[in-house]
Amino acid sequence: MVPLIEANIRLNRNFHTELTTKDVCALAYPWGTTPSNELLESLNMVIMSDVVYDPVFYQPLVHSIEMLLMRPSTVCIMAHRHRHPEDHKFFALLEETGFQATQIPYQPSEALRDACQDVKLLRIARVEVGR
- Tell me the residue ranges of DSSP E strands in 61-118: 75-81, 99-103
Q: Looking at mean pLDDT, say which of 11-20, 32-41, 82-91 comes out highest.
A: 82-91
Degrees to nearest 5, angle at CA 118 with 6 and 60? 55
pLDDT value of residue 117: 82
pLDDT of res. 22 = 67
Tell me the pTM. Answer: 0.83
Query: Does position 15 have pLDDT exceeding 80, yes or no?
Result: no
Interval 37-90: pLDDT, tens: 888 888 889 999 889 999 999 999 999 999 999 988 899 999 999 989 999 999
Residue with the bigger pLDDT between 19 and 64: it is 64
How confident is the model over 89-128, as pLDDT tens digits?
999 999 999 999 999 998 878 887 788 888 999 999 999 7
Q: Looking at this protein, which amino acid is placed at residue 74?
A: T
Residue 47 main-chain phi, psi, to 5 deg:
-120, 125
Instruction: Give all strands of the β-sheet with 45-49 in edge-to-edge order.
Output: 45-49, 75-81, 119-126, 99-103
Q: Position 60: which residue type?
A: P
Higher pLDDT, 130 or 123: 123
The pLDDT of residue 76: 96
pLDDT of residue 130: 64
Given a cut of 60, whether residue 131 has pLDDT beyond it is no
Classify 99 as helix, strand or coil.
strand
Helix residue ranges per DSSP H, the chain: 2-13, 37-42, 58-68, 87-96, 113-116
